[in-house]
């Protein structure tokens, strides 16, 4: 919390180490899986690279083929957010102001790695 005090900025809540919140992040990811807002993606690193290349070449977001599948696998998986297919997301940024992005341009972001550790996007 002292890191920005030299600028006259003080925190409005106690400092929290994100790694100390890993269990809570996993709980939230499980709830998102349960309500369909996230999904298990079983692609390996090479498959993700190929998917990313293809999506970039086509000007599309990264959307895993596992997004719409319900079959389970014993393979390692990551948990991805299921981004909306339509509409837009608006973020109120302190520097840029209101920033809107079409949801069709948003990747399905990884929120839990295959080892179960969170990416801290929550």
Residue 73: domain span: 19-112
Q: What is the pLDDT of residues 8-44, one digit of tens each?
A: 887 787 777 778 888 899 999 999 999 999 999 999 9
Residue 73 bridge partners (DSSP)? none
pLDDT tens-digit readout, 53-100: 999 999 999 999 999 887 777 889 999 999 999 999 999 999 999 999
CATH code, domain with 61 = 3.90.800.10
pTM of the model: 0.80
12 found inside a domain: no
Q: How many other C-beta atoms lie within 10 A of the C-beta of residue 29?
A: 22
How many domains does the structure of the chain reveal? 1
Report the alpha-carbon distance of residue 64 to residue 69 in Å, rounded: 10
């Amino acid at each position: 919390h002292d890191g920005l005090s030299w600028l006259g900025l003080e925190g409005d809540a106690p400092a929290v180490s994100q790694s100390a919140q890993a269990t809570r992040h996993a709980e939230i990811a499980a709830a998102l899986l349960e309500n369909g807002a996230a999904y298990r993606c079983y692609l390996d690193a090479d498959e993700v690279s190929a998917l990313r290349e293809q999506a970039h070449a086509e000007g599309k977001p990264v959307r895993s083929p596992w997004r719409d599948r319900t079959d389970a696998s014993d393979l390692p998986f990551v948990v991805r957010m299921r981004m909306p297919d339509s509409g837009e997301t608006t973020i109120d940024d302190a520097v840029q102001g209101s920033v809107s992005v079409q949801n069709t341009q948003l990747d399905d972001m990884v929120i839990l790695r295959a080892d179960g550790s969170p990416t801290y996007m929550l």
